[in-house]
Structure 1
Amino acid sequence: MSEFRGPLSILDLASVGRGERVADALAASVDLARTAERCGYHRVWYAEHHNNALIASAAPAVLIAHVAAHTATIRLGSGGVMLPNHAPLVIAEQFGTLAELHPGRIDLGLGRAPGTDRNAMLAMRRGPAAAQTFPRDVQELQGYLSGESLVEGIRATPGAGTNVPVYILGSSLFGARLAAALGLPYAFASHFAPAALTDAVAAYRAEFRPSPQCERPYVIAAANVLAADSEEAAAQQLLTLRRRWVTIVLGRTDPVPDAEADLVLDSPHGRLVHENLRYTAAGTPGRVADFLHGFAADTGADELILAHQGPSATERLHSVELTAAAMG
């Protein structure tokens, strides 16, 4: 098996642990980015989620600004902004501001999912048809960032001329084909929706059309990582992660008690949790590295983005360090 030598990056979900405040999770995100920068990771991305008590990254642009002010070189971006929740001009202005403040360090990953439940969609004034204009909205946003606006009389300030690199995120053939048609890098959410990974990557590579941003296909594949000093510690962290996922599968906004979660894990709903977390590397550093090298070889990924999913900030930081050392 060939070793993966591409960039390693991090998807930070700004997890709010049991008994923690949101402020604790946001402070931990700063520590994680600093550690990632020291360990040689390429970038850290933050995902837009709403109405979820376990995740504090509801406002990626704000979190990126805070973390960028406390780091020096690592790239930071959204993984992603859920564009149908926003006007393209507003996102161009937000990320244009970030690019002016931190030139050469800002990425803009875009998705079309709501990142939340139906009630929160309504609270955000997002209609059920919002995702239908996603391809056009991406191109409108690109126009604002390049300074070649597609909307007469409108110029993004800040934004115009920053050329913030755009990435398409997805978990289906739709995103893959859109990224290919627009000549943009494609990031697949295989850390929680693995089913279409192989088909989506194949379609993206087959249909890719070069663009000014990207001359050839570029695939970023996501995996969960729980690297620990012992197999026992990693197994316990994996159980905690699966319990957290029960909350998501059941559509709850608050954590499900462990005893109830364990019952669900032994039910048909539990099989869905196990399937969603198929691409999870859990174990000692050597075992994690073996998994990631194999995962990269199987997918042909140009870059891996890793969600370190330990239950505490300390465990996540340790996983970041162990993985970087093991991947060398």
Structure 2
Amino acid sequence: MANKLVQHIPLSILDLAPITEGNNAVVTFRNSLRLAQRAEELGYRRYWLAEHHNMESVASSATSVLIGYIAGGTNTIRVGSGGIMLPNHAPLVVAEQFGTLASLYPGRIDLGLGRAPGTDQVTARALRRNHMESAQDFPDDVTALQTYFSADNSSSKVRAIPGEGLDIPIWILGSSTDSARLAAHMGLPYAFASHFAPTHFLNAIALYRQNFRPSQHLARPYVMACVNVIAADTNEEAEWLATSFFQLATGIITGRRRALQPPVESMEGLWGEYEEEAVRQMMKFTFIGDRKTVGSGLADFQQRTQLDELMVTSHIYDPQARIHSYEVLKSIQDESFFSS
């Protein structure tokens, strides 16, 4: 029997703006825009970009600038951050940036916030210089952002213009129970990074739902989770495409990061037993295969989690194959391939 809930939950995309081997950021940005435009045609709800720094394989370091580029090249899809790493920025600067984006593209901008630096500690210090904010200041910084966006802040000595009085949805992003508690306490939507941090996922979303306090922003809990999907016309093709993802993940585990590599026929010699086990554990919520395989896996995942929205990221070397993966995923939903 078709799982009606899975059929109708919104699908969204997280783009890490991958720099592929042999290419540069210029190519990456063009590929991201093509993907966003196709996602809009297919009916995806959101297109989010993530803030990372000092990573050879990621081009989305100036996240708000890239959000403007994607929003300017599309018409209806929501565009946002998954997320802005708030300890790296003064809340006023974020409020002004996203106030500008929301003024240019009204009703289409989301602000997802994370408490991690999105990089190593040395780079984090270079980003912050004399800015002493840390993860411990995150709740106060979120509150400060809400204040800057509030129309009631018009009499304050410090105002976000543009930004003040604009309805810019704030999301709490996280990979732990701490972020779940904060999102529940503040009555904000919650997005979990289950695509790379599966350990606390089920506990975190349960805690969020149990402790949610309705707010002026949200009446009931709203959970979105991100997973890895590599879909193709056959299982064999999908497994081959996935070797680029496995190489990338192995580089994260070993600290030998590189641009996203082309697929290979076999991972033998590219990872050892320990690396493979670590990658598969870290990337637990990864769905690779054809329509039937991916559909069955996602139906089981949704049955266990009862998500309100599913966000997908796909580390695929060839840009057209990456677009096709999202086409396959949408066809799975549209053609009721999800089954329970």
For Structure 1 versus Structure 2, the TM-score category normalised by the shorter chain is over 0.9
Q: Which amino acid aligns with 1:77?
A: G
Q: Which residue in the other structure is 2:90 paired with?
A: 87
Q: Which residue in the other structure is 1:67 paired with?
A: 70
Which of the residues 31, 34, 38 maps onto 2:34?
31
Q: Which residue in the other structure is 2:293 paired with?
A: 287
TM superposition shift of 1:230: 1.2
Which of the residues 196, 202, 206 maps onto 1:192?
196
Cα distance in 1, alignment partners of residues 210 and 256 from structure 2: 39
TM, length-normalised to structure 1: 0.95
Question: Cα deviations across residues 105-143 of structure 1 (Å, max 9, x unaligned)?
Answer: 000000001101122112112678611100000010011
- Name the SS of the counterpart of 2:14 in structure 1: strand
Question: Cα deviations across residues 156-202 of structure 1 (Å, max 9, x unaligned)?
Answer: 00100112000000000000000000000000000011110110001
Q: Which residue in the other structure is 2:115 paired with?
A: 112
User: What does 1:232-271 align with in structure 2 at a 5 Å threshold?
Assistant: 232-255=236-259, 262-263=268-269, 265-271=271-277
Q: CA RMSD in A?
A: 2.1
Q: Which residue in the other structure is 2:18 paired with?
A: 15
Q: Which amino acid aligns with 2:194?
A: S
1:167 paired to 2:167: no
Q: Is the 8 A contact 1:243 1:262 kept in 2?
A: no
Does 282-291 or 90-99 show the bigger shift? 282-291
- Name the SS of the counterpart of 1:236 in structure 2: helix
1:323 paired to 2:297: no
Query: Do the aligned partners of residues 67 and 115 (structure 1) sit closer, same or farther apart at CA in structure 2, a change above 3 Å counting?
Result: same
Query: Do the aligned partners of residues 149 and 298 (structure 1) sit closer, same or farther apart at CA in structure 2, a change above 3 Å counting?
Result: same
Q: Which residue in the other structure is 1:211 paired with?
A: 215
Q: Which amino acid aligns with 1:315?
A: A
Cα distance in 1, alignment partners of residues 138 and 256 from structure 2: 28
Q: Which amino acid aligns with 1:294?
A: D
Q: Which amino acid aligns with 2:34?
A: D
Does 104-113 or 311-320 show the bigger shift? 311-320
Q: How many residues align?
A: 328
TM superposition shift of 1:149: 3.7
Q: Is the 8 A contact 1:265 1:271 kept in 2?
A: no
Cα distance in 1, alignment partners of residues 116 and 283 from structure 2: 19
Question: Cα deviations across residues 236-287 of structure 1 (Å, max 9, x unaligned)?
Answer: 122221111111122234359889x754632323321111111111111222
TM superposition shift of 1:150: 10
Query: Do the aligned partners of residues 150 and 53 (structure 1) sit closer, same or farther apart at CA in structure 2, a change above 3 Å counting?
Result: farther
TM, length-normalised to structure 2: 0.92
Task: Return 5+ residue gaps in structure 1 as ranges.
Answer: none
- Name the SS of the counterpart of 1:306 in structure 2: strand
Which of the residues 227, 242, 250 maps onto 1:223?
227
Q: Percent identity?
A: 46
Cα distance in 1, alignment partners of residues 62 and 100 from structure 2: 15
Query: Do the aligned partners of residues 297 and 32 (structure 1) sit closer, same or farther apart at CA in structure 2, a change above 3 Å counting?
Result: same
Which of the residues 41, 46, 49 maps onto 2:49?
46
Cα distance in 2, alignment partners of residues 313 and 254 from structure 1: 18
Q: Which residue in the other structure is 2:313 paired with?
A: 307
Task: Return 5+ residue gaps in structure 2 as ranges.
Answer: 335-340
Cα distance in 2, alignment partners of residues 293 and 228 from structure 1: 17
Q: Is the 8 A contact 2:15 2:48 kept in 1?
A: yes
